[in-house]
Structure 1
Amino acid sequence: MSRQLLLMALAPLLGLFILAIGNGALVTLTTLRLDSAGYSPQIIGWVSSAYFLGLALGALLNDRLLLAIGHIRAYGSFASLVAVTVLLQGLLVEAWAWFVLRLVAGWATVGVFLVIENWLLAVGEPRVRGRLLALYMIAVYAAGVVGQLMLGVTLALGELAPFMIIGMLASLSVLPMAMIPRVTPLLEKAEPLSPARLMRLTPTGVMGSFGSGLAVAAVYTLLPLYLQRVGHDVERVGQFMAVMVLGAMLLQYPVGRWSDRHDRQLVLILLGACCALIAGVVLLVPLTSWGLAAALFMLGGGIFTLYPVSVGHAADRAPAGALVRMSQGLLLINAIGSTLSPPVITPVMSVLGDDGLFWCLGVLGLSLVAFFGWRRRVRPAPLPVAPFSPATPLSAVGAELVVTDEWVQGAREHEHVEDLSRAVADVAVAEPLVGPPPRHEAHIVYFDEPPTAPTPGAT
């Protein structure tokens, strides 16, 4: 990767890192503040789901604004909206107001990611996009860790201090983008495949993406509520959340390499089993703080790798011409799962208590294991045709970043094999064999002794 390319990518990545620090802290802070205000888990779930609903709407609609006003102005607009919503959250502690503010914040936040992802897609050649995506992933996850650790420090300064600091970070993130030369990369719009078409094409990919959305939204929004209600203060909650995000960051590559070398369906089965097992351990085994931290580290690695492995499995089966639209469709499925997760799980927590979160995660893990196992028996997975690529389900452009040249080549090869298999099957049906198969004589040459010289004059 050239120095010039690194410099061009540094400004948007730095802006993303600054904004993502506050964004990672705000997701946890929203849950904790609503709980301290006395709202029920159902209300907290609906407010939390508003953010993911905004992410889904923004991923489908924000590209039009980006095309109309350009990258730098679009980034400034989205980041300013994020700052305004955060500051208003500090002033208004009403559930209905926070629902609206979190909806707008989700719409604006995915707009920021859309600008950054498209910027990296435009400035990087295909051969370096994977490395740019790796830097992008590191910036997102590292900011998440810093944001969670920041919670306890900022709350010590006062109740409004966290909202003020997060709002300032959103405003400061504009500076790196505003100080670079203006360029206008093109953004191509592609409609995602419908959920029904995706379900026919790759049921495992659809259910893996949907289950990942359910699980990731649950741990981001409801795990802080669980940790606070079992007796941990805000600073310790932030530390536990940071450990979970760290596990998601550090285990992405090992799990990805593992899925490249083995059947991805088997990897998905084991990931689901891992999530169910860890949920059972938290529920049934008394854990020290270190034990809980280790469990959350593994839980983050298992849950956050479900989505990229599912997308990789879907890419192994997709025809070459449908890769981008398929990835965008799976992104939409993932966003739907994230939106539904808090409203579905919080009633269970009201009935079963705070442990209801891990009961739901355990049932979800076992359900994924059962579904993936059934699909593996019905239609065994092909060998991976393209290397794993870590994927952050943020926007439609992120889906395009995942579609590498290797994926396209693998899809073409897989499509050729499928066509050849169908052709062989058609011939077998049209011309069934009658009687025993024909016999073929084989001529075997032994090289234990040197060949005998031909007789002169022999023909």
Structure 2
Amino acid sequence: MSRQLLLMALAPLLGLFILGIGNGFLATLITLRLDAAGESPVVIGWVSSAYFIGLALGAMLNDRLLLAIGHIRAYGSFASLVAVTVLLQGLLFDPTAWFVLRLIGGWATVGVFLVIESWLLTAGDATVRGRLLALYMIALYAAGVLGQLLLGVTDAMGPTAPFMMIGLLASLSVLPMAMIPRVTPLIEKAEPLSPLRLITLTPTGVVGSFGSGLAVAAVYTLLPLYLQRIGFGVDRVGQLMAVMVLGAMLLQYPVGRWSDRHDRQMVLIGLGGFCALISAGILFLPLPSWGLAALLFLLGGGVFSLYPVAVSHSADRAPAGALVRMSQGLLLINAIGSTLSPPMISPVMTVVGDTGLFWSLGALGVTLVGFFAWRRHVRPAPVPVAPFSPSTPITAAGAELAVTEAWVQGALEHEHVEDLSDAVPDVEVAEPLVGPPPPDEPHIVYYDEEEDAAGASDDGDATEAVSRAEAYRT
């Protein structure tokens, strides 16, 4: 990676890191403040879900503003709005007001991520895009770890100090982006596939993305509530949340390599079972503090790895020309799961108790294992064409730009065969390829079990011709 490219990427990465420090502990802070005020888990769940509702809305709408005013001005607008909503939360303590402010804050936050993703992913070509994405994730997760560690420090400074600190960081994050005199890239708008169409094309990807949204939102918003109610102070809660995020950062690459070398459906089955097993360990084992931290580290790695593996699996089976729209649709499915998670799981915590969080995560893991195993039986794994690339479920437009070279190459290899003599060099391309087979050759019928309901009729003739050519050669 060239020095010039690193300098170009420095500003958005630095802006993301600064804003991410505050954003990393805001969800934890809100959960702890509402619980300390005596609000029920149901109220806490709904206020938490407002942020994810804003994420989903922003993923669908914010690209229009970005295209209209450009990257730098869009970033400044979104970051300023994040600062305003957080500062207002410090001034107004009311669950209804916080619900509205969190919704607006989620909409603005996903706009910030949209600007940074599109800037980074168009800064270089396909040969360096994966490394830029890795730097993006490292900055995001490192900021989250540091933010959780700062939770106890800022909380000890006064009731409004944490909100002031987050607003301050959001405002400061504008400076790196605003001080760079460069022409910023443009992105193209692309509409996502409908949920019904996605379910038809990739049921495993849809369920995996939805389940990942449920699990990630639960650990971000309800795990702090569980930790505080079992006796940990604010400072210790922040440390344990930092350990969980650190596990998400460090374990995603090993899981990605595993999924590149094995059947991704088996990897998804393993991740679902792993999350269920860790949840059972937290429920039933008498854990010391360090033991709980170790299990939370592993839980973070398992939960946060579900989404990128599910997306990579979907790309393996995507029809030609649908990769971008499929990625966008899966991001929206993930956002829907994140929106529904707190209102679904918080009532379980009210009925069962604080351990209802891990009962829910365990049940989710078992459900995912059963579904993935059934899908693997129905549709065995094809040869992978899309290598795993770590990705954060944040924006739809960012996914449009994160399509890797291997995705495109894999799609092209299956889409068009312009010269059959090149595709099958041992076969003479002649009229018999499109006629009936010779009398002395057995009649072989080829069909594609993986062909989905969407159909791929555009390349059907070429694929059939290649199949017949291979049969003649045999």
**Cα distance per residue 1:405-451 (max 9 Å; x no partner):** 1012123335579xx9xxxxxxxxx989999969xxxxxxxxxxxxx
CA contact 1:16–1:140 (8 Å) conserved in 2: yes
Deviation, structure 1 residue 125: 1.5
Percentage of matched positions with identical amino acids: 79
Distance 1:180 1:136 in 2: 18
Deviation, structure 1 residue 382: 1.3
CA contact 1:72–1:182 (8 Å) conserved in 2: no
CA contact 2:324–2:399 (8 Å) conserved in 1: yes
CA contact 1:79–1:171 (8 Å) conserved in 2: yes
Distance 2:23 2:30 in 1: 11
Pair 1:433–1:222, CA change in 2 (3 A): farther
Give the residue type in structure 2 aligned to 1:52.
F
Deviation, structure 1 residue 294: 0.7
Give the residue type in structure 2 aligned to 1:398.
G
Instruction: State the match for 1:109 in structure 2.
Output: 109
CA contact 1:41–1:346 (8 Å) conserved in 2: yes
Deviation, structure 1 residue 38: 0.9
Report the structure number with the largest CA radius of gyration. 1
Distance 2:24 2:101 in 1: 16
Instruction: State the match for 1:330 in structure 2.
Output: 330
Give the residue type in structure 1 aligned to 2:192.
P
Pairwise CA RMSD: 1.9
Distance 2:243 2:231 in 1: 18
1:227 maps to 2:227: yes
SS at match of 1:192: coil
CA contact 1:392–1:398 (8 Å) conserved in 2: no
Instruction: State the match for 1:444 in structure 2.
Output: none
1:345 maps to 2:345: yes
Give the residue type in structure 1 aligned to 2:271.
L
Instruction: State the match for 1:245 in structure 2.
Output: 245
Instruction: State the match for 2:469 in structure 1.
Output: none
Deviation, structure 1 residue 92: 0.8
Instruction: State the match for 2:432 in structure 1.
Output: none
Give the residue type in structure 2 aligned to 1:247.
G
Give the residue type in structure 2 aligned to 1:338.
S
Which has the higher mean CA deviation after the structures are superposed, 392-401 or 50-59? 392-401
Alignment of 1:27-426 (within 5 A): 27-414=27-414
CA contact 1:262–1:383 (8 Å) conserved in 2: no
SS at match of 1:321: coil
CA contact 2:189–2:397 (8 Å) conserved in 1: no
Distance 1:431 1:288 in 2: 73
Distance 2:373 2:268 in 1: 9
CA contact 1:213–1:338 (8 Å) conserved in 2: yes
Structure 1, unpaired ranges of 5+: 421-429, 439-459
Distance 2:367 2:439 in 1: 46
Distance 2:438 2:90 in 1: 77
Give the residue type in structure 1 aligned to 2:384.
P
Pair 1:437–1:128, CA change in 2 (3 A): closer
Give the residue type in structure 2 aligned to 1:132.
L
Which has the higher mean CA deviation after the structures are superposed, 21-30 or 181-190? 181-190
Give the residue type in structure 1 aligned to 2:194.
S
Structure 2, unpaired ranges of 5+: 418-422, 424-434, 444-474
**Cα distance per residue 1:303-350 (max 9 Å; x no partner):** 000000000000000023110000000000000000000000011110
Give the residue type in structure 2 aligned to 1:370.
G
CA contact 1:323–1:403 (8 Å) conserved in 2: yes
TM-score where L is the length of structure 2 = 0.88
CA contact 1:192–1:329 (8 Å) conserved in 2: yes
Deviation, structure 1 residue 110: 0.4
CA contact 2:209–2:311 (8 Å) conserved in 1: yes
Which has the higher mean CA deviation after the structures are superposed, 137-146 or 116-125? 116-125
SS at match of 2:321: helix
Instruction: State the match for 2:455 in structure 1.
Output: none
Pair 1:148–1:200, CA change in 2 (3 A): same
SS at match of 1:183: coil
Pair 1:74–1:436, CA change in 2 (3 A): closer
CA contact 2:18–2:143 (8 Å) conserved in 1: yes
Pair 1:72–1:436, CA change in 2 (3 A): closer
Deviation, structure 1 residue 383: 2.7
Distance 1:9 1:224 in 2: 33
**Cα distance per residue 1:178-202 (max 9 Å; x no partner):** 1101423211000001111111111
Distance 2:5 2:109 in 1: 25
Distance 1:372 1:414 in 2: 25
SS at match of 2:390: coil
Instruction: State the match for 2:10 in structure 1.
Output: 10
**Cα distance per residue 1:97-138 (max 9 Å; x no partner):** 000000000000000001111111222122111111000000
Deviation, structure 1 residue 401: 3.7
Distance 1:30 1:55 in 2: 17
SS at match of 2:271: helix
Distance 2:245 2:210 in 1: 20
Moved over 2 A (4+): 411-417, 430-438
Distance 2:167 2:413 in 1: 49
Distance 1:291 1:434 in 2: 71
**Cα distance per residue 1:351-394 (max 9 Å; x no partner):** 00000000000000000000000000011111322211001000
Instruction: State the match for 1:22 in structure 2.
Output: 22
Deviation, structure 1 residue 169: 0.3
Deviation, structure 1 residue 68: 1.2
Distance 1:396 1:315 in 2: 15
Distance 1:363 1:431 in 2: 54
Distance 1:240 1:60 in 2: 33
SS at match of 2:158: coil
Give the residue type in structure 1 aligned to 2:24.
G
Distance 2:409 2:441 in 1: 40
